[in-house]
Amino acid sequence: MGVPKSALAVVAGAALTASCATTPPPLPPVLDYVRQDCHASPDVSAAVSLTPEKETNGYLVTTVVGPQTPCLTRAGMATPYVVYALPADLGDKTLAVGGLLEAMRILSPEVSVLDARGRVTRTFAPSDYFHRGPVYSVQFRPRDGEAFVLVTSDPARVGRRYEAINVGTSTTTVYTGFGTANFTTGVEASTSRMFSHEGAIQVIVYDTDTKEDGEP
């Protein structure tokens, strides 16, 4: 029995639609950041948890920083910010926190560590930031009394170019709360990305003791 012409038309139309679908172009760097709705201090009650459901080494959290991200006013300038809640068992943890390298841009990260009341306990010098895998980051071990990590954009670095050579590419799809966004990292040759006020933050929590409480 032959296939109805209407069915053939549907199949052909679907194939044409699929052939026309293209990957969205990479997002450009955001060099100017002006907001009128910024807070004077971060809201730690909305912190993103860095505690996995099950103990694991290399727990990864990626956060999109875009127009809907909350902002702070610092030194008279606006900056987006994200707060992360440190795991309760700090003793065996090491964190790498920074901006994820995208195809055209990198979030210019400025990382601070806060206590339970949101007060800054530690900051990092420019020399502490460098390329660790696909993340331009700082690495540190939390100390007693520290409860949160605050990430903002560093305006001093925005607009500068970062040269890198990577091998291979990968695309990560992240749910933003307003839809999904694709982040392509890695290249097969030398590339130049520009530091940006917006982009993506990536946090990796390394755990030297992944046994759950009560396990032998």
Confirm whether 184 is domain-assigned.
yes
Confidence check: pLDDT of 51 > 60: yes
The pTM score is: 0.77
Predicted pLDDT of residue 22: 79
The tens digit of pLDDT for each residue in 134-153 reads 999 999 999 999 999 999 99
pLDDT band at 123 (very low <50, low <70, confident <90, very high): very high
Please tell me the distance from the alpha carbon of residue 195 to that of residue 32, in angstroms, as a whole number.
11
Domain ranges, residue 58: 48-207
Q: Are strands 170-175 and 146-153 parallel, antiparallel or unpaired?
A: unpaired
Q: What is the mean pLDDT of the chain?
A: 84
Asked if residue 181 lies in contact with residue 199, where contact means CB atoms within 8 angstroms, the answer is no
For the segment 78-92, the average pLDDT, to the nearest whole number, is: 94
Side-chain-side CA neighbours of 178 within 13 Å: the count stands at: 7
For the segment 193-201, the average pLDDT, to the nearest whole number, is: 97
Confirm whether 163 is domain-assigned.
yes
Confirm whether 216 is domain-assigned.
no
- The DSSP secondary-structure symbol of 39 reads B
**What residues contact 62, with CB distance under 8 A and at least 6 apart?**
100, 172, 174, 183, 200, 201, 202, 203
Confidence check: pLDDT of 61 > 80: yes
Confirm whether 134 is domain-assigned.
yes
Confidence check: pLDDT of 179 > 70: no
Confirm whether 137 is domain-assigned.
yes
Confirm whether 149 is domain-assigned.
yes
Confirm whether 1 is domain-assigned.
no
Looking at the structure of the chain, the number of domains it has is 1
Confirm whether 54 is domain-assigned.
yes
The tens digit of pLDDT for each residue in 93-103 reads 999 999 999 99
pLDDT band at 214 (very low <50, low <70, confident <90, very high): very low
Total Cβ atoms within 10 A of residue 181: 16
